[in-house]
């Protein structure tokens, strides 16, 4: 797709048509069917959920993942009943149904559904509603064919309106995601081009000088170190590119691993660098055993650990960096989060530099520490990656010294809470009114 591609989605779904006056027999049948639909709205939603799970590769608990959203789905069915018997005005009904449909469209966008799956989902909804009402008609043998046709037409209109509202919101969100992705790609292409050009230039310059007859042994060693250093820098750029390329896939095609496994893999990759700098790598034994996006978490941890190793305090006999984690379980008032902290006893960060840490090309120690390679891109990449996943990044600086670089990712899933030894609760816990920390 071209970088300047723009998707216009200004077309709105057609509003529901005003209901013409109908014979009394038509209104009576519509009223009876609508009442039955309202009384069994939870049952209808359950049938719908079962049909979705049978057609889409998604766990049942993730179709409507939150209790709040699951509670809202019967309201959507109630809206179908309201339109069927004319309980609400067209304008009021159109607004209410659209709101619920848009909420569903946003959820499906977050879950990585494609347009075909959403269309199929709403086809299933219409089918479930028709099947349910046909069952009700078995108990009304004297229903007039014209009255049945009128009710069927009303159901077709309102289910189509729900489908349109869901799809339009889904497509808007998809278009915005494409725009943001293209902007990130343009920005990252500029950064990578700058980085690659500088490092390749340094390697070419140093290698060409090695052929000069006037180069002595000390200078030869210096140029060899320069070539090796820039080659390692190129490898880091390539590694980041590979990790970033795995971040934009379909939400259901992402490679997920347990957090302790992701941390162990990054520690394995960083072991040689840590040993060369005399830094002990520590992985907390109580890291929450919850699934994470392997590419995103490994990218963040590798950048955090790399910085901690590079800026270790060489004046200290014991130098260490540790990876710690905590699951904050969501409540009725706040979404849960997985918190990951990388703590070290290194040089820390000057107070005047802390606000700019996640800016592109900024290096906090560029004027005070020499001999350390870096471009100032790592933390900005971490920031963009975490924010794109709905998370946040921050730093902490203990009074005892050292640094803490942290990130948090949303935790919406029931199995995350179960893995941490607790279940998501809608009751406000004692103590902190907003969150409940997993034991």
Which of 180, 167, 233 has the alpha carbon at shortest distance from 203? 233
Number of other CB atoms surrounding residue 169 within 10 Å: 22
Check residue 143 and give its pLDDT: 85
Has residue 15 been placed in a domain? no
Specify the DSSP element, H or E, that contains 316.
none
Among residues 143, 160, 178, which one ends one of the domains?
A: 178
9 pLDDT above the threshold of 60 = no
Mean pLDDT of 66-70: 57
What confidence tier does 217 reach under pLDDT thresholds 50, 70, 90?
confident
Distance CA 118, CA 108 (A): 8
Check residue 435 and give its pLDDT: 38
Give the chain's radius of gyration (CA, Å): 29
Quick one: angle between helices 145-209 and 24-39, nearest 10? Answer: 50
CATH number of the domain within which 147 lies: 1.10.490.10
What confidence tier does 56 reach under pLDDT thresholds 50, 70, 90?
low
Check residue 394 and give its pLDDT: 92
375 pLDDT above the threshold of 60 = no
Check residue 279 and give its pLDDT: 92
Judge if 262 and 399 occupy the same domain: yes
The values of phi and psi at residue 120, to 5°, are -65, -40
Has residue 428 been placed in a domain? yes
CATH number of the domain within which 347 lies: 3.30.565.10
Has residue 64 been placed in a domain? yes
What confidence tier does 27 reach under pLDDT thresholds 50, 70, 90?
confident
Average pLDDT along the chain: 76
179-183, 362-366, 397-401: the lowest-pLDDT one: 362-366
Which of 48, 55, 46, 169 has the alpha carbon at shortest distance from 117? 55
288 pLDDT above the threshold of 90 = yes
pLDDT digits (tens, 9 = 90+) for 261-282: 999 999 988 888 888 889 999 9
Range of the domain at 314: 254-437
Specify the DSSP element, H or E, that contains 344.
strand 336-344
Mean pLDDT of 15-25: 62
Has residue 419 been placed in a domain? yes
Q: How many distinct structural domains can be found in the chain? A: 2
34 pLDDT above the threshold of 50 = yes
138-142, 356-360, 383-387: the lowest-pLDDT one: 356-360
Check residue 259 and give its pLDDT: 94
Check residue 383 and give its pLDDT: 86
Has residue 198 been placed in a domain? no
316 pLDDT above the threshold of 80 = yes
255 DSSP 8-state letter = -
Which of 337, 345, 361 has the alpha carbon at shortest distance from 416? 337
Check residue 283 and give its pLDDT: 94
**Percentage of residues in the chain having pLDDT higher than 70:** 71
Has residue 129 been placed in a domain? yes
Check residue 3 and give its pLDDT: 42
Higher per-residue pLDDT: 283 or 95:
283
280 DSSP 8-state letter = E
Judge if 172 and 286 occupy the same domain: no
Check residue 439 and give its pLDDT: 37
Structure tokens at 266: 């990054």
Judge if 292 and 430 occupy the same domain: yes
Structure tokens at 402: 């050292």
Structure tokens at 422: 């607790």
Mean pLDDT of 389-398: 88
Judge if 303 and 414 occupy the same domain: yes
Check residue 115 and give its pLDDT: 79
Q: What is the pTM of this model?
A: 0.50
């Amino acid at each position: 797709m071209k970088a300047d591609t723009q998707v216009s989605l200004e077309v709105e779904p057609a509003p529901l048509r005003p209901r013409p006056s109908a014979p009394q027999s038509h209104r009576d049948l519509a009223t009876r069917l609508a009442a039955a639909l309202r009384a069994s709205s939870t049952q209808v939603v359950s049938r719908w959920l079962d049909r979705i799970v049978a057609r889409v590769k998604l766990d049942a608990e993730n179709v409507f993942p939150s209790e709040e959203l699951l509670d809202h789905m019967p309201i959507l069915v109630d809206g179908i009943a309201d339109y069927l018997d004319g309980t609400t005005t067209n304008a009021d009904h159109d607004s209410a149904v659209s709101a619920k449909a848009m909420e569903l469209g946003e959820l499906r966008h977050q879950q990585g559904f494609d347009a075909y799956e959403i269309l199929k989902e709403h086809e299933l909804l219409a089918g479930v509603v028709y099947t349910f009402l046909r069952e009700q008609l078995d108990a009304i043998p004297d229903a007039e064919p014209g009255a049945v046709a009128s009710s069927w037409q009303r159901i077709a209109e309102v289910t189509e309106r729900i489908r349109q509202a869901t799809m339009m919101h889904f497509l808007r969100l998809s278009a915005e995601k494409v725009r943001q992705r293209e902007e990130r790609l343009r920005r990252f292409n500029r950064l990578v081009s700058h980085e690659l050009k500088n490092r390749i230039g340094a390697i070419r310059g140093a290698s060409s000088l090695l052929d000069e007859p006037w180069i002595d042994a000390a200078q030869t060693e210096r140029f060899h170190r320069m070539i090796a250093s820039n080659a390692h820098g190129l490898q880091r750029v390539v590694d980041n590119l590979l990790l970033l390329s795995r971040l934009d896939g379909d939400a259901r095609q992402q490679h997920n691993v347990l957090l302790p496994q992701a941390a162990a893999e990054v520690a394995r990759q960083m072991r040689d660098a840590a040993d060369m700098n005399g830094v002990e790598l520590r992985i907390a034994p109580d890291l929450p055993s919850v699934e994470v996006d392997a590419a995103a978490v490994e990218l963040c941890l590798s950048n955090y650990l790399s910085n901690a190793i590079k800026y270790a305090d060489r004046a200290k006999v014991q130098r260490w960096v540790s990876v710690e984690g905590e699951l904050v379980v969501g409540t009725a008032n706040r979404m849960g989060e997985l918190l990951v902290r990388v703590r070290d006893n290194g040089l820390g960060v000057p107070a005047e530099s802390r606000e700019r840490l996640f800016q592109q090309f900024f290096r906090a120690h560029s004027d005070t520490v020499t001999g350390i390679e870096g471009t100032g891109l790592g933390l900005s990449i971490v920031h963009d990656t975490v924010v794109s996943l709905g998370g946040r990044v921050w730093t902490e600086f203990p009074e005892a010294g050292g640094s803490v670089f942290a990130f948090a990712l949303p935790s919406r899933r029931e199995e995350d809470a179960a893995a941490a030894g607790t279940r998501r609760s809608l009751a406000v816990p004692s103590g902190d009114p907003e969150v409940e920390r997993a034991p």
